[in-house]
Amino acid sequence: MSPPVPSKILTDDVSLLMVLIDTNPHFWSSIKPHFSFSKFLSHVLAFLNSILLLNQLNQVVVLATGINSCGYVFDSSSGSVSQRAESLLPKLEEFAENDESLSERDDDSGNGVGSSLLSGSLSMALCYIQRVFRSGPLHPQPRILCLHGSPDGPGQYVAIMNSIFSAQRSMVPIDSCVIGIQHSAFLQQASYITGGVYLKPQQLDGLFQYLATVFATDLHSRNFLRLPKPVGVDFRASCFCHKNTIDMGFICSVCLSIFCKHQKKCSTCGSTFGQAKTLDPSASQQR
């Protein structure tokens, strides 16, 4: 009698793709003359349907990332077998209306001006993946794809880094496709730490080609492809006191909290700090 086949071999080409779509209305209005949200969705829907066609066991879950909330808008495992990605449009429209109403009710959100709630959607995606892990030994290989355009919100730095390290511990790669004008330092770190792919398309009109050639392949097939590698990763952190991105700062030796200025006491763990030592430039030159 032959030995049982390991579960990884049975599921190495079956994927669970968690797609995080940025629905920030402020971002999409800023680039509307060049690339509208409806055109973006046409590319994404074609990509999602192609993932489902590659393997009948593939599963796609889509989460919408707004400026005040995030939520599930599509799950290919629920409903009929022949469910297409176009069925997410009504839920996505309903989500956008609810998120906009929350924005009108509370204009002073804590996640930064113009930023979307990326930390929340990453947490929800990881929770869904953990539920799949606990469903049994045979499960698809999960990965997360962030279709993001909004600027980074420094106030989300701690929550996003916690999600990144959680994904790394679970061996879940985070792929990033940045469609904004600027690069995303958060997603650069996420893809680098988790072993995912970071890409900023040069021509948004060919977005589907970028998605199909770079992000459609399963984790097993990636070993045989030459995918884009990070040219430069911005590893700068955000301070815990003012939520600003800093190049140099002070770190608590107990809880590793980061501060842009010297503090007498750590606001995170309560540890008392000593007096900061200043380096005299003239003394260093004399040496």
Per cent of the chain over pLDDT 70 is 86
Residue 263 half-sphere exposure toward CB, CA atoms < 13 A: 21
Residue 287 is predicted with a pLDDT of 42
CATH T-level fold of 7-105+114-223? Rossmann fold (3.40.50)
pTM, two decimals, is: 0.81
* Residue 251 predicted with pLDDT over 70: yes
Q: How far apart are the first and last CA of the chain?
A: 76
* Domain residue ranges of the chain, discontinuous segments joined by +: 7-105+114-223, 236-277
- The answer to whether 49 and 84 are in contact (CB under 8 A) is yes
Which residues sit opposite 147 in a β-bridge?
Answer: 21, 177
**What band does 249 get if pLDDT is binned at 50, 70 and 90?**
confident
d(CA 211, CA 82): 22
Convert the pLDDT of each residue in 184-207 to its tens digit: 989 999 999 999 999 999 999 999
Cα-trace Rg, the chain: 21
Q: Which amino acid is at 35?
A: F
Structure tokens at 136: 């049994």
The CA dihedral of 20, 21, 27, 33, to the nearest 10 degrees, is 140
Q: How many residues does the chain have?
A: 287
Which of residues 113 and 81 earns the better pLDDT score? 81
Burial class (CB in 10 A: 0-12, 13-18, 19+), 2: exposed
Owner of token pair 């969705």 = 41
pLDDT in tens, 42-96: 999 999 999 999 988 899 999 999 999 999 999 998 865 557 888 899 999 999 8
Flag the least confident range among 119-123, 153-157, 234-238.
234-238
Cα 208 from Cα 133, distance rounded (Å): 30
Backbone angles phi, psi at 210, to 5 degrees: -65, -45
